[in-house]
Amino acid sequence: MTTSETGRNATSSLHSWDASDSIPSRFRAVVNEDPDRPALTTETGEVSYGALLAEATMIAGSLESRLGSGTEPVGVLMNHSPAIVGVTLGVLLAGRPYLGLSPYMAAPDLRRLIRRVGAIAVVADDTIDPDEALGVPSLLCDDLGVPSERMCRPTSAESLASLLATSGTTGPASAVVDNHANILNNIVNYSHFLDIRPGDVHSCAHPIAFGASRLDVFGGILNGATLAFFDPMTDSLAGFQGWLVKAGVSILHLTPSLFRSVVPWLERDALEADSVVRVVHLGSEPVTTRDLRSFEKTFPVSARFVNRYGATETGTIAMHSPGRDAELHTDHVPVGKPCLRVMFADESRQFIDRGPGEIVVASEYLALGYAGDAEKTHDKFTTVEGVGRVYFTGDRGKLENDGSLVHLGRVDRLTKVNGKWVNLQTIETAIMDHVRVHDCVVVDVEDASGRALVGLLVDVKPDEDDPTSTIKRWLRDRVTRAEVPRHLVRLPALPSLPRGKTDLGRARQIAWAVSMGLPGLQPLESDRLLRFWVEALGLRSGSSTKVAGESFFELGGDSLRAMHLLARVEAEFEIKLPLSGFLLDPTLRGLAQTLTREDGS
């Protein structure tokens, strides 16, 4: 399927958006314009707007029949596929907000989130284990698509529409509450900047549990565009270019981390000949100059690069299209002049002029808060006299002389090493300038020598000799002494969250294992062994800086825990470890040496 010229010349219904609208009313307006227009591409063909509305209406009626009337949230726990769209619309047509859930979340985390937001039920697909107790009824989506005499319930702009988890990059996810007006205002700004119209094919690569999915889903179907799904957790990156061309994607929306993963699989000549991509839009993480140059080398000259900065709690804050070969004077691509009021605050939350500092956003369309978490809502949202309601983003930024905003990363990615403050993302940018580095993340951990920086990197040439020693020497001429990581480690891929963003929590676990200096083991082997060790002892990851040399039994272990530990290690490493041998040196380092000897390495 290719982008239709006739469709591209049509006007999106969102250009006549009214602040009193709701998502269902806007969707019905799009359907009325052309019910036969394709809304979704699937493995078996296309789903029209009319068919999508009919499916969502049946789901809404089924929910009403089973759950009755009310405004309690309904969870959506499904793998990333086109079926999510009909279910999400069905929940909204039933007059309820949807709670986006990830099938990759652990069951205890799912239960906590469901309980915290007061969800009344969860809609799941047949890939989810029906025996997993979530604390509320689980409804199979295939059982909801049956005719019902129940009518869809009306919704207003102020009705609750979604509860979405924050990314979970730096800690436990929280549910952000938004109404229809907030979401529609964000979609209108997004649609106007990208000029999304009927005939466009918008990528959908962000799971429903995350805020960026709203730009994909509603940015597409509220403009008469077609959605094309790609699941970065299950679909092959080697097949990304084929999917891009076959689906006729014209608007490609990715996180920078996912973009860096797919670029090596793209061929410029093939894209020039077959692709209809006109916009490559990156967001949710800082975009580097290197990302822009990768785009310029890979995508046709007709394609436009867009850097978007925003948050689930604010919607779009700024968007910028820097143009090809733009001369940039910073390692980060500016995100343009803010479309919302932006201020900056220092560490004590005193407002400062132009930054750098924490980015604070003022808008009448901020999220309503965090479901069931009054303390976090109070901490992040407040009212400033003469300004109104504001949100403290937790991001660092500054204004350039021309008024453009530069996103400098997370405030919590500043750390003190040897008494000096360092910015971890600045170090990452420096490391990525090396020709052998495809992607990297730098984290700080506490080891026996104090606070240390550990860099995890993906090598451009993974089959050649390990370049980390060379990169470390090269880096010493480009950053301060405090900014040079104590350890640089080559990995086949960085740990990632379902949406493609780097999983910093997982990265810290791997880095902590590396910092232990376990002999003879590869980084991921050290990580697994250390994880088994702390779990057997009931310790918190990173809680002990001397764990490698301490006795298992002095740390609180007993013979039963030791047997459970050895059983897990034997199953993982496919090796026999008698308890009698472990008792000779019951330390983590001793266990690592035993594994190395038994493996013959």
> Where does the pLDDT of residue 169 fall: very low under 50, low under 70, confident under 90, or very high at 90 and above?
very low
pLDDT of residue 359: 94
pLDDT of residue 131: 54
The pLDDT of 277-296, averaged and rounded, is 89
Q: Residue 139: beta bridge partners?
A: 123
pLDDT of residue 273: 83
Whether residue 20 has pLDDT greater than 80: no
Question: Hey, what's the torsion of the CAs at 289, 294, 297, 303, to 10 degrees?
Answer: -90
Choose among 188, 214, 183: nearest CA to 16: 188
Tokens for 276? 């209809």
The pLDDT of 438-461, averaged and rounded, is 83
Distance (Å, rounded) from C-alpha 102 to C-alpha 109?
A: 10
Handedness of CA 71, 77, 82, 83 (dihedral sign): negative
Question: Hey, what's the torsion of the CAs at 260, 265, 268, 272, to 10 degrees?
Answer: -110
pLDDT of residue 2: 37
pLDDT of residue 209: 85
DSSP-based three-state secondary structure for 309: strand
The one-character DSSP state at 286 is P
Output 469 or 528, whichever has higher pLDDT.
469
Average pLDDT, the chain: 83
Tokens for 544? 């002990």
Distance (Å, rounded) from C-alpha 152 to C-alpha 535?
A: 49
Q: What is the pLDDT of residues 293-331, one digit of tens each?
A: 999 999 999 999 999 998 889 999 999 888 887 777 667
- One-letter amino acid at 549 equals G
Contact 259, 296 (CB under 8 A): no
Contact 75, 99 (CB under 8 A): yes
Q: What is the pLDDT of residues 412-443, one digit of tens each?
A: 777 877 777 788 888 888 898 898 998 899 98
Q: Which stretches of 413-483 are DSSP H helices?
A: 424-432, 468-475
Output 467 or 165, whichever has higher pLDDT.
467
The arrangement of strands across the sheet holding 450-459 comes to 437-447, 450-459, 487-491
Q: What is the DSSP string of 368-407?
A: -EETT-HHHHHHHEEEETTTEEEEEEEEEEEE-TTS-EEE
What CA–CA distances, in Å, run from 345 to 51, 361, 362, 394, 501? 49, 11, 13, 10, 26
> Where does the pLDDT of residue 238 fall: very low under 50, low under 70, confident under 90, or very high at 90 and above?
confident
Contact 145, 165 (CB under 8 A): no
Q: Residue 397: beta bridge partners?
A: 357, 407
Whether residue 40 has pLDDT greater than 90: yes
Tokens for 472? 């470390």
Output 570 or 162, whichever has higher pLDDT.
162
Choose among 485, 536, 480: nearest CA to 511: 485
The pLDDT of 336-347, averaged and rounded, is 90
Tokens for 140? 């199979």
Strands 420-423 and 414-417: antiparallel
> Where does the pLDDT of residue 184 fall: very low under 50, low under 70, confident under 90, or very high at 90 and above?
very high
Tokens for 130? 């029906």
pLDDT of residue 161: 93
Handedness of CA 383, 384, 386, 391 (dihedral sign): negative
Give, in degrees to the nearest 5, the angle at Cα 172 between 166 and 176.
30
Choose among 64, 138, 67: nearest CA to 101: 138
Q: What is the pLDDT of residues 90-117, one digit of tens each?
A: 999 999 999 999 888 877 778 888 888 8
> Where does the pLDDT of residue 8 fall: very low under 50, low under 70, confident under 90, or very high at 90 and above?
very low
Tokens for 377? 């809502």
All residues at 6 or more sequence positions from 227 whose CB lies less than 8 Å from its CB, including other chains: 39, 40, 41, 82, 85, 201, 202, 204, 216, 217, 220, 221
pLDDT of residue 449: 63
> Where does the pLDDT of residue 9 fall: very low under 50, low under 70, confident under 90, or very high at 90 and above?
very low
- One-letter amino acid at 312 equals T
Least confident of 308-322, 351-365, 381-395, 444-458: 444-458
Output 127 or 314, whichever has higher pLDDT.
314
What CA–CA distances, in Å, run from 90 to 26, 101, 222, 374? 14, 16, 15, 29
Q: What percent of the chain has pLDDT over 70?
A: 87
Domains recognised in the chain with CATH numbers: 418-515 (3.30.300.30), 516-601 (1.10.1200.10)
Give, in degrees to the nearest 5, the angle at Cα 452 between 448 and 457.
125
> Where does the pLDDT of residue 493 fall: very low under 50, low under 70, confident under 90, or very high at 90 and above?
confident
Phi, psi dihedrals of residue 279, rounded to the nearest 5°: -135, 130
In terms of Cβ atoms closer than 10 Å to its own Cβ (0-12, 13-18, 19+), residue 112 is middle
Whether residue 516 has pLDDT greater than 60: yes
Choose among 28, 134, 20, 157: nearest CA to 89: 28
Helix or strand holding residue 121 (H, E): strand 121-124
> Where does the pLDDT of residue 588 fall: very low under 50, low under 70, confident under 90, or very high at 90 and above?
confident
All residues at 6 or more sequence positions from 507 whose CB lies less than 8 Å from its CB, including other chains: 441, 443, 456, 494, 495
Whether residue 143 has pLDDT greater than 90: no
Tokens for 298? 């890979």
